[in-house]
Amino acid sequence: MVTKSVSQEAKDIELATQMIHLGARLQVLQAETALSYDRLARLYREVRGCSPPKGMLPFSVDWFTTWLPNIHSTLFYSVYCYMDQLTPAHKVQALIEAYKLYLEQACAGRIEGAGEEPVLSFTRAWMLIRFFESGMLQLSACERCSGQFIAHAHDPAAGFVCAICKPPPRAGKTRSSKIVRASKAAKKDSVNENTPKQKAKKSTKKASSVAKGSAEAIVKPQDEDKNPV
């Protein structure tokens, strides 16, 4: 009978806990630790207060080459490579550190309370590294900005233009980005209202007051009382 090392088990539990906090699925935990399925499921319930989600992992390689996921995944992967190659954090530790940094960057500029999930989930980030390791993805240099972006393996490198230099026509026109735009317009209006030029801006204020009211109600209900009458 194989005797299990207690200290190794403690390390695995610590590692699994960190990954559960970041949103890892059970399959990822099983691959990265030596803990049994039952113990991991119990740990998951203790940490998150609910049962782990069932079903298969997202295994689409194509997802990483669609425009917005491509930008997010490229950002994450660049940080991961830096962590793995140039810091003491390697493999799964590099993944955890890189994902934390990615979350910080992905949340920057996002409106508080918008409740939006990050584009790249922890499980997808883990899959991304597997895809690179198995040679299904590569980094291609954009011929306009010379940045390295994720692309399908063996795609021709010549003539590659990244998703930032050439975004699709509908880029950024999602429901959540509409809320962000509306709230930005509302904030701009409230600044205008507080200036001495209030009278001159009156017509603009009237026109946008309906949009402003609804946007602020969705995004920042606590700011309602700040609106000058």
User: By C-alpha distance, which of 1, 75, 74, 6 is closest to 34?
Assistant: 6
Q: Pick from 31, 107, 145, 207 the residue near Zn ion by CB under 5 A.
A: 145
Q: What is the CA radius of gyration of the chain?
A: 23
Q: Pick from 111, 142, 171, 179 the residue near Zn ion by CB under 5 A.
A: 142
Closest CB to Zn ion among residues 61, 142:
142
Query: According to the binding rule CB under 5 A, does residue 162 interact with Zn ion?
Result: yes
What is the distance between the alpha carbons of residues 123 and 84, in angstroms, rounded to a whole number? 18
Q: Pick from 11, 144, 188, 202 the residue near Zn ion by CB under 5 A.
A: 144
Token pair of 30 as six digits: 């099983």
Closest CB to Zn ion among residues 75, 83:
75
| Residues in binding contact with Zn ion, number by CB under 5 A | 5
Closest CB to Zn ion among residues 31, 165:
165
Closest CB to Zn ion among residues 165, 200:
165
Q: Pick from 10, 107, 153, 165 the residue near Zn ion by CB under 5 A.
A: 165
Query: According to the binding rule CB under 5 A, does residue 107 interact with Zn ion?
Result: no
Q: Give the range of 27-35, 78-86, 110-118, 145-153 binding Zn ion by CB under 5 A.
A: 145-153
Query: According to the binding rule CB under 5 A, does residue 185 interact with Zn ion?
Result: no
Task: Give residues 46-85 in contact with Zn ion (rule: CB under 5 A).
Answer: none
Closest CB to Zn ion among residues 96, 163:
163
**Amino acid at residue number 192:** N
Q: Which residues of the chain form contacts with Zn ion (CB under 5 A)? A: 142, 144-145, 162, 165
